Amino acid sequence: MNKFLLFSVCLFFITMVSGQNVGSGETIQFDFKQLAVTKAKVQSGDKSVMDAYKKLITSANKILAYKPVSVMDKVDMPPSGNKHDYVSLAPYWWPNPKTPNGLPYIKKDGQINPEVKNYPDKENMPRLCGNIYLLGIAYYLSGNEQYAKKVNELVTVWFLDSATKMNPNLNFAQLVKGINSGRGTGIIDTRHFVYMLNGVQLLKGSSNWNNKTDKATKAWFAQFLDWLQTTENGKEEMMTKNNHGVWYDFQCLGIALYLDSNELAKKIIDRSLQRLDDQSNSDHLFPLELARTNSLHYSVFNLVAFSSIAQLAEKVGVNFWEKETVHQHSLKKSYLALLPYIKKEKTWTGPEITPYYVEEAFNLLLHASEKYDCASCKVSIQNFAGDNYNNLLLQLF
């Protein structure tokens, strides 16, 4: 697991683009209107964005040499015997030392079993999505068709080519040996798809993204959204009470908006607001995340999920940032509860078996600055980022 990018399924780090290992972690949901403003700044050579822009282009140029990956790259077969099916192992489950064959596996929360690397789908997919995301932004800001051409290649290999494409299901995601062949819990793996779709949507007008490819990509995601909403695993994840349920909503919402299903999107947003109400305690923190062995990590992770939903909700005119629930919980109140710990103004007293890095929450600090008038939040980013501040991708948003 990359140390630079914290926010994978297990140890989740925010991608702020350092020009290395891009694409293996979370990214920032961007505002298309703001990105248009940034494009004008780039074209005029505005110094406020040029360092970050140059860093982005350096990263995008490196990605041009990135070999396309697919679900066919794995050696071990999924339970179905069909390599086109995505498969991953549950990261916190280990061989049972009390049985000769190690079955059934036992859980060690927060401790990643290195055996997960035997199934590279879970590692390849987030990196692929992050690379497409960055290439899309680079294409939009520069107009360089090489970046759009590379996106076309990467999307075609993973999603569209009959020889290499992933089947639109997660039947075998995060399986636990000796217990099941896949779980609804594994659906969190593909939250990265939404960020990838952000990048794809920036290719409109490119000669390297034609109508046929666009329709085929939308057809794949329509099938995947149907799988998310109708299967046992999908319904199981929808009912999950912790961050998994929020990330499930985020996926469904992002894909629904990509497919222009705005009525469905509004229903998902309403469900997410109910989740915020159900998950919050009297301090506006999240008890199920507080109970984890990496409680600050997961509290931040959950808030990032709700914040990402709030960004998407803006596309259908819903101000999730300011909405209050029936029990007077709100995203704003959860922000105010966590910000002192994010900025290290207060000491977190919950369990943390791995170090917490402020970089995990740079996007939350950015949102707090923009949505909740947190004057000190951007200063905090600058202080923690140091000399790298002007290179951060968030400078473009």
pLDDT score at 27: 54
Binning pLDDT at 50, 70 and 90, where does residue 118 land? confident
Q: Tell me, what amino acid is at 196?
A: M
Structure confidence at residue 28 (pLDDT): 66
pLDDT of residue 356: 85
- Taking residues 59-78, what's their average pLDDT? 95
* 156-165 tens-digit pLDDT: 999 999 999 9
Residue 201's pLDDT band (boundaries 50, 70, 90)?
A: very high
CA dihedral (180, 184, 189, 194) in degrees, to 10, reads 160
Query: CA-CA distance, 274 to 124, in Å (whole number)?
Result: 33
The answer to whether residue 20 sits within a structural domain is: no
What average pLDDT does this structure show over 115-129? 92
Number of domains making up the chain: 1
pLDDT per residue as tens digits for the range 15-35: 333 332 333 334 567 788 899
- Would 351 be classed as within a structural domain? yes
User: With a threshold of 0.95, does the pTM exceed it?
Assistant: no
Is residue 224 domain-resident?
A: yes
What does each C-alpha distance from 359 to 296, 301, 363, 396 come to in angstroms? 13, 12, 8, 17
Residue 211: inside a domain = yes
108 lies in some domain: no
Cα 387 to Cα 375: distance, rounded to the nearest angstrom? 20
Domain at 258, CATH number:
1.50.10.100
Instruction: Read off the pLDDT band of 117 (50, 70, 90).
Output: confident
| In-domain check, residue 165 | yes
352 beta partners: 294
Token pair for residue 252?
């469904």
In a domain, 106, yes or no: no
The residue range of the domain holding 214 is: 32-72+126-171+189-396
Say if residues 338 and 303 touch (Cβ distance below 8 Å).
yes
Q: CA 272, CA 287: separation in Å to the nearest integer? A: 17
What are the tens digits of pLDDT across the range 230-261? 999 999 999 999 999 999 999 999 999 999 99
Is residue 13's pLDDT more than 70?
no
Instruction: Give 282-305 pLDDT, tens digit per residue.
Output: 999 999 999 999 999 999 999 999
What is the predicted pLDDT for the residue at 3?
A: 29
**Residue 346 forms part of a structural domain:** yes
Q: Specify the DSSP element, H or E, that contains 54.
A: helix 47-63
Calpha distance 100→42 (Å, rounded) = 62
Give residue 384's pLDDT: 92
Pairing of strands 93-94, 106-107: antiparallel
